[in-house]
Structure 1
Amino acid sequence: MGKKIYLNDFNEEYVKREMRGERNIDIIVKAECSNGEIIERLRNILINNYSRTIKVWRCKK
């Protein structure tokens, strides 16, 4: 089981800092359910910067 990062807001620097040296990371995003833009930006940055498996969840209503 990998490390979990909980995000209330998009914070690129925090994510990059937390990702250092980690092989498996779950990103749990607690954002507005309708805000798919934040999720996609986060996913794209992670995929472009890290060759690791990334899971991104949107919140449930």
Structure 2
Amino acid sequence: VARIANTGRPKTLVLYHQLYFGVGDEELVEEVRAAGYAGPLVSGQDFDVFQVNPPIVYYR
């Protein structure tokens, strides 16, 4: 994911449909960070709403 995100350079990377395998959101975000992605990053949850027009806002 980090390699693709670094190539595409999204304004905000949203992780969704995650497979947790016993870890939480923080660990998933840390894994993407450790792989080299430093941009804005959110771990999406059910019913989150993302406004994609600037400014980027999400509601939980």
TM-score, normalising length from structure 2?
Answer: 0.43
Structure with bigger gyration radius? 2
TM-score normalised according to structure 1 size: 0.43
